[in-house]
Structure 1
């Protein structure tokens, strides 16, 4: 399916708000980062609305009103989208997309956890890849408010080569996703390792940018060549700087070991704590 301004407008008219936002993110991610950043905030608003509806904390009429407001904001955003912008234009372009390495960005910040700057982290990653020498080699796919079903579906649909999880980790060494109503759902290390074992042929690297994630990184590393986890609670600023520098290096053709070390040094150069928290585990 072609993704362009007209396609997104049709989805809005059909009431398919979530799909329209997803396509807008994909389209403007290629052409305009300023609109893309605004689209991320709109996606977050819609995700929060879905959670409120599932929890029953707002009435149907309130939910409809809020969805109409989001659709209005989406329509306003489309006025800045040029009709010439399009993705999926030709078989040649589709073949080029298939040949790219896919970076799958998974984000979760459950409503019963402390808010963290996931939006800032993805902006830094996108900017690093956009300006990099090898930017045409990579495709960045984003999944927000990730639940367990979203995890397996993203793996199956996107066939990622690099997986980046950004969010919270428990002191017991478990990454935290969201449950059906947006609260915390801890993932057992052995279970996450078993999941990655099924996709080991495609995945080259996993980055768990979450506190205390080293034990899960160890499980994943039984099957994946390069896995990065955190051996302690990592400050938000250090986590963002690590991601930014890591993908700056990856986007410029450096290998995983070089990118990891550069990311550590980048934290150190800022003179903030946390450069010794990321751990690289190699199979």
Structure 2
């Protein structure tokens, strides 16, 4: 079994363990809620009784309920510690997986370069096949320049859990099937905190930045990241725009696959060529299908405008009535149907 397979299995196993821990914590929380209700109702009955024996009985019941709450609260704290620890383990395994995938990709690139050098050597040794080999080399040279897609995922433990791993897996699989798959590098960062965004951008110089996770309500224009404890941390639209403005040398597209993100996308295109945002809430399934088809089209060298329309069309064919939720914004003076992210270079 390869190291990549091993890391993937570990991540899957630890996510199941995390889910079990969260279920156990929720059960204890329900017990606490039930006991608090009993305390309230017993306290109300105590305030109404005038019988001394009854009052003493009610007081004993309240003390017993409170003791039970204290025991359960300790269990909940213990589960929270285990949940935080499990999230860190998952994050560490995902970092190892990314490094292993990068090493494998670099190894393949070296092998391709070595093969190309062998072709060139053979070309000069065998003049009889010179013309055919020259054509093969030109075909290799005509591949698009490589682009980086930076996938930033945030799934805080104190909000509804999203299937962001399924979205990332689906995008990678669709890119793998495209014509120019070797020119599209997909890099992911998980459990993203605010400080991770600029770090990742500076490391990778991405062409596309993709935010995946939660957005705030329609009035706040915020995106949800995580704090050091794995809980939700709201980031304002102005902070996101400032980040893109300070990092937009290579960024051409910003994709907000989060609820109520159309205002963020509209503001960002002052600094990048294009942005995609959602004008309302979007379901897990719709977000996955729309984004994976969009990147599939990009990987075939299709323009942003057509890729956007194809992604909407797939939602309609799948019977998902959310095709009007995504919105594409283009910088003033540009045409969406002329913007191509993955484009073959011109031969000299």
TM-score (norm 2): 0.59
Matched, 1:177 2:225: yes
Alpha-carbon displacement from aligned partner over 1:79-110 (angstroms, at most 9, x marks no partner): xx9xxx844349957999xx520000110110
Q: Give the 3 Å change call, closer, same or farther, for CA 235–87 of structure 1 in structure 2.
A: closer
The match for 2:44 is: none
The match for 1:103 is: 149
Whole-angstrom CA distance in 2 between matches of 1:215 and 1:136 = 33
CA shift for structure 1 position 41 = 2.9
Runs of 4+ in 1 over 6 A off after TM superposition: 45-48, 93-96
Q: Give the 3 Å change call, closer, same or farther, for CA 90–212 of structure 1 in structure 2.
A: closer
The structure richer in helix per residue is 2
Alpha-carbon displacement from aligned partner over 1:44-87 (angstroms, at most 9, x marks no partner): 58999xxxxxx98438xx969x96xx98xxxxx9xxx9xxx844
The match for 2:213 is: 167
Q: Give the 3 Å change call, closer, same or farther, for CA 88–241 of structure 1 in structure 2.
A: closer
Whole-angstrom CA distance in 1 between matches of 2:319 and 2:177 = 25
Alignment of 1:190-209 (within 5 A): 190-209=238-257
Alignment of 1:111-150 (within 5 A): 111-150=157-196
CA shift for structure 1 position 198 = 1.4
Residue 81 of structure 2 aligns to a residue in which SS? coil
Q: Is the contact between residue 47 and residue 145 of structure 1 (CA under 8 Å) also seen in structure 2?
A: no
Whole-angstrom CA distance in 2 between matches of 1:39 and 1:162 = 29
Alignment of 1:44-83 (within 5 A): 57-58=80-81
Residue 141 of structure 1 aligns to a residue in which SS? strand
CA shift for structure 1 position 190 = 0.9
Structure 2 residue corresponding to 1:261, chosen from 296, 309, 320:
309
Whole-angstrom CA distance in 1 between matches of 2:263 and 2:167 = 23
The match for 1:52 is: none
Matched, 1:155 2:201: yes
Residue 111 of structure 1 aligns to a residue in which SS? coil
Q: Is the contact between residue 37 and residue 123 of structure 1 (CA under 8 Å) also seen in structure 2?
A: no
Larger CA Rg, structure 1 vs 2 = 2
The match for 1:13 is: none
Whole-angstrom CA distance in 2 between matches of 1:86 and 1:181 = 32
Matched, 1:238 2:286: yes
CA shift for structure 1 position 282 = 0.4
TM-score (norm 1): 0.71
Alpha-carbon displacement from aligned partner over 1:171-212 (angstroms, at most 9, x marks no partner): 022110001111111111111101101122200111100000
Aligned length: 231
Moved more, 85-94 or 125-134: 85-94
